[in-house]
Amino acid sequence: MRNSFSDQFDQHGAWRRDFALRLKLLAEWMRDHEMLDAAVEERLHQIEDRMRTGKVMVAFVAEFSRGKSELINAIFFAGYKRRIMPASAGRTTMCPTELGYDADIPPCLRLLPIETRLQPKALTEWRTVPEKWTRIDLDVNNPAELARALEKVAEVRIVSREEARALGFWHDMTPEDNPPVDAYGLVEVPRWRHALVNMAHPLFKQGLVILDTPGLNAIGAEPELTVSLIPQAQAVVFVLGADTGVTKSDLAIWREHLITEGKGGNTDARLVVLNKIDTLWDALSTPALVQAQIERQRAAAAEILGVSIEQVFPVSAQKGLLAKVTDDAALLQQSRLPALEAALGEGLLGRRQDILRAEMSASIADLRVQAGRVMQIRRRDFAEQALELRGLRGKNAAVINHMRARIHQEQVEFDVSGAKIHAIRSVHLKLLRQLFKILGASTLKAELSDLNRALRQRGIKLGVKKAYNQTFQRLREGLGQAQATSIEIQTMFVAIFRQLNAEHGFSLQPPKEPDLLRFERELELVERSHLQYLGVANALKLATPDFADRLVRALATRLRAVYESALGEVELWNKSAAAQLDVQLRERRRNFGRRLEAIERIQQAATGLDERIADIARQEAALGELDAKLLELTAGLLDTPEFSEPEAVAALKTA
C-alpha cells in the first residue's frame, strides 16, 4: 500500500494540519506584538479554517455493473479486509451516496426516501430536515456489521409505471431507457433518493468526501447531482468496463453529465478507468497479447471520449482489492491499481496543495505589508519623539511647558478631524450598501424569478436555453454594475487616504479593489453545466413543472455560493481599508500619550530627558528585531514543513 492514494492523502492531511497550526501561532505572535489588524486576521483565520476543515470531493460515476463500488472498496476500504460497499452480483449502489465525516454527528447512515422527489424541495434543503431521513447507527469497528448496514443503499422498490413516471424513472418517449417491466406490469426503482454515510475513516477525518453515483437513469433524474455536486468535485473518476468498452449509455453519461466543453474546461480533473481488465486475462493468450488488447481498448476509449490516453487507466478493481486483502504485492501490480491511485494523489492533491499555497502566499504578502506599515509608523513616531526630546536639552521649565501645551493643542486638532473622518465613512457606507444590495440574496432571487416562470410552463420548452442565456446575461450585467460601484468606492478611498496622509502624516495605502468580474468565470461554469443538461435528451423531463422547479432550486443553491464568495471578498476589502485607518488612528493617539508621558517624566526629574531618549533608542532596536523575526517566520511558513507539530509549536512559541 506504499504510495497509495491513502498514503498520499495522509501526507497531505499532515501538511494541512501543520500549516494551519503554524499559521494560527504566527497570528497569535503578531497579535501579542500588536501587529495584526482585523482584516488580515480574518483572512488568516479563513485560510486556517480551510486548511483544517476544507473538503476534497472525489466523485465516482458509472453506468450499472461497471465495478465502481468495487473500485471504491479497493482504494478506500481494503484496510477492513473485506468488501464494505455493496459490490457483489445483484447488489449494487442504487442511490447517490456521499461518504464523509462530521465530528458533530455520530457514525451513521442517513437515507432520504425516494418519495421526496414528489415534492419540489431541492436536495440541499432536505439536508436541513433531519427528521425526514431514515437513520441507521453504524458500528465502524465491526466490518461485517458495517457492510451489512451499507447494503441499504442497494435497496429497491417495486412500483407501477405511473409511480415510476412521477418519480422520474419512466419516460414514454424514450422506452429504451426505461427499466424492465415484470410479469405484473411493475418496475424496479431505488428505495432511497440520497444516502449520507458519516464515519471516522482516517481519510474522511482529513476532509475526503466520496460521492458514489449510480447509473444514467438515477443521475438524470436528480438534477442537483449534475449541476451542483459533480461539477464541484475536485476529481471525477468515470468507470467503464473493459468487457463492454464504451457503450451507448456510458457515452450518454459522459456527454450529458461529465464532459467539460468550452474554454477553460478542466479535463485534467476527469480520470477514466477501464475496469475489469482481468476479464481479458486469458490462459490461452500470452501476456503480450493481453497487454496489446488492453492498450487497444484504452486507445479506443480515449478517442471516443475525447481525452488523452494518459487519462485512461486500465485496472482490475476486484484483483486489486483481493491483493490488498491478502497482501499479494505481485497481484497488486498486475491489477494496475497503484497507477490509478498515484494519478489521483499527484493530480488531485497536488493541484489542491498548489491552490492552498497560492492563497497562503497572497495572505502572507498582505500580512507583511500591513505589519511593515505598522512598524514604519512606529519608527517614524520614535524618530519624531527623539528629535523633539533632543531639542529640549538645556531648556528651562517654560520651554518644556510650552512644548506640553503644543502637544495638547495638536491632540485637540487631531480629535476635531475625527468628525470629518466619520462623515467620510458615512458616504462610504452608503455606497457599500448599494454594492451589498447588488450581490445580495434578494437580488439573486429576483433575477431567477423569470427563469422559474419560463421553466414551470407545461409542455416542451423550446425556448429554455434562451431563458437561461437571458438570466445569466442579467447576472453578468449585475456583476459589472457591482464592479463599477467598487471602483467608485476605491476612487473615494484613494482621495480620502491621500488627504489624510497629507494632513496628518499617515501612510495609508488603499487596498486593491476586489476583482468581481472574476466571478463571471464561475457563472460561466455554472451556466455551462446547466446548458449541458438542457439538451434533447432531457427535454421530456423539463416538460414536468416539478422537475423544472427542482432544477431552478439547484441552480439557486449553486449561484448563492458564488455570490456569497463575492460578498466575502467585498467585506474583506472594506475591512482592510477600515482596519488600516483604525490602526493609524490608534497609533497616533498612542503617540500623543507617549509624548505627554515623556514631558511629565522630564518635569519630574532632571535626568528624565536622557533616560527617555535612551528608552526610545531601545524600543527602535526592539522594533528592528521584531521586523527581522516576522520575515523569518513568514518565510519559514511558506516552505514545506519538514518537522513535526510539537517542533512547530516550540519554534513559534520561542519567537
pLDDT tens digits, one per residue of 337-395: 999 988 887 777 777 777 777 777 777 777 777 777 778 777 887 887 788 777 766 66
Between the CA of residue 322 and those of 316, 335, 422, what are the distances in Å? 10, 10, 71
Q: Under a CB-based contact definition with an 8 Å cutoff, are residues 215 and 63 in contact?
A: yes
| Closest C-alpha among 275, 203, 195, 271 to residue 233 | 271
pLDDT at 346: 75
Poorest-pLDDT segment among 171-180, 226-235, 420-429: 420-429
pLDDT at 149: 94
- 419 pLDDT more than 80: no
* Cell 412500483 sits on residue: 159
* Strand duo 134-137 + 108-113: pairing: antiparallel
**Residue range 176-205: average pLDDT?**
88
Which residue has better confidence, 582 or 423? 582
pLDDT at 648: 43
- 650 pLDDT more than 70: no
- 7 pLDDT more than 90: no
pLDDT at 136: 95
Instruction: Look up residue 449 and give its amino acid.
Output: S
Mean pLDDT of the chain: 81
Which of the four pLDDT bands, split at 50, 70 and 90, describes residue 641? very low
Which of the four pLDDT bands, split at 50, 70 and 90, describes residue 178? confident
pLDDT tens digits, one per residue of 87-129: 866 567 788 999 999 988 999 999 999 999 888 777 888 988 9
**Residue range 322-326: average pLDDT?**
95
| Closest C-alpha among 16, 54, 47 to residue 209 | 54
Ramachandran region of residue 88, left (φ > 0), alpha (ψ -120 to 50) or beta? beta
Paired strand residues for 158: 188
* Strand duo 134-137 + 208-213: pairing: unpaired
- 324-333, 411-420, 491-500, 562-571: which has the highest mean pLDDT? 324-333
> Rounded to an integer, what distance in angstroms lies between the CA atom of residue 103 and that of residue 487?
43
Paired strand residues for 314: 274
Which of the four pLDDT bands, split at 50, 70 and 90, describes residue 50? confident
pLDDT at 394: 62
Poorest-pLDDT segment among 49-53, 301-305, 444-448, 582-586: 49-53
Instruction: Look up residue 157 and give its amino acid.
Output: R
- Apex 373 CA angle, 368 and 377, nearest 5: 150
pLDDT at 496: 82
| Closest C-alpha among 201, 221, 115, 186 to residue 150 | 201
Say how many C-beta atoms besides its own lie within 10 A of residue 647's C-beta.
12
pLDDT at 536: 53
Which of the four pLDDT bands, split at 50, 70 and 90, describes residue 642? very low
* Cell 476543515 sits on residue: 53
| Closest C-alpha among 349, 496, 292, 305 to residue 14 | 349
Q: Under a CB-based contact definition with an 8 Å cutoff, are residues 157 and 191 in contact?
A: yes
- 197-211, 307-321, 463-477, 530-544: which has the highest mean pLDDT? 307-321
- 41 pLDDT more than 70: yes
> Rounded to an integer, what distance in angstroms lies between the CA atom of residue 20 and that of residue 652?
13
| Closest C-alpha among 319, 275, 323, 335 to residue 1 | 323
pLDDT at 385: 76
| Closest C-alpha among 379, 380, 357, 344 to residue 620 | 379
pLDDT tens digits, one per residue of 159-168: 999 998 888 8
Q: pTM of whole model > 0.95?
A: no
Q: DSSP 3-state assignment of 58?
A: strand
pLDDT at 49: 77
- 524 pLDDT more than 90: no
Which residue has better confidence, 648 or 45? 45
Q: DSSP 3-state assignment of 159?
A: strand
| Closest C-alpha among 79, 322, 69 to residue 201 | 79
**Residue range 470-496: average pLDDT?**
87
pLDDT at 123: 83
For the structural domain made of 55-155+191-335, what CATH number should be given? 3.40.50.300
pLDDT at 237: 93
To the nearest whole percent, how much of the chain has pLDDT over 90? 22
pLDDT tens digits, one per residue of 545-554: 667 777 788 8
Q: Which residues contact 258 (CB under 8 A, 6 or more apart)?
A: 61, 230, 236, 238, 270
| Closest C-alpha among 220, 223, 164, 224 to residue 191 | 164
pLDDT tens digits, one per residue of 259-289: 654 433 455 578 999 999 999 888 778 889 9
> Rounded to an integer, what distance in angstroms lies between the CA atom of residue 229 and that of residue 553?
13
| Closest C-alpha among 198, 206, 235 to residue 52 | 206
DSSP 77-125: SGGGTS--S--STT----S-EEEE--TTS-SEEEEEEGGGGGS---HHH
Q: DSSP 3-state assignment of 274?
A: strand
pLDDT at 541: 64
Which residue has better confidence, 210 or 511? 210
The cell numbers describing 220, all together, are: 438524470
- 600 pLDDT more than 80: no
Sheet holding 134-137, edge to edge: 134-137, 108-113, 192-198, 97-100, 208-213, 56-62, 235-241, 270-275, 312-314
The sign of the CA dihedral 591, 594, 598, 599 is positive
**Residue range 143-150: average pLDDT?**
93
Q: Under a CB-based contact definition with an 8 Å cutoff, are residues 371 and 36 in contact?
A: yes
Which residue has better confidence, 653 or 76? 76
Q: Which residues contact 124 (CB under 8 A, 6 or more apart)?
A: 224, 228, 553, 554, 557
Poorest-pLDDT segment among 46-55, 112-121, 499-508: 46-55
Say how many C-beta atoms besides its own lie within 10 A of residue 397's C-beta.
9
> Rounded to an integer, what distance in angstroms lies between the CA atom of residue 77 and that of residue 471?
44
pLDDT at 240: 95
Which residue has better confidence, 59 or 3? 59
> Rounded to an integer, what distance in angstroms lies between the CA atom of residue 347 and that of residue 328?
26
Tell me the residue ranges of DSSP E strands in 269-367. Answer: 270-275, 312-314
| Closest C-alpha among 265, 280, 271 to residue 301 | 271
Q: Under a CB-based contact definition with an 8 Å cutoff, are residues 177 and 171 in contact?
A: yes
Domain ranges of the chain: 55-155+191-335, 391-604
pLDDT at 90: 58
SS (H, E, C) 591-627: HHHHHHHHHHHHHHCCCHHHHHHHHHHHHHHHHHHHH
DSSP 187-233: EEEESEEEEEEE---HHHHTTEEEEEE--HHHHHH-HHIIIIIHHH-
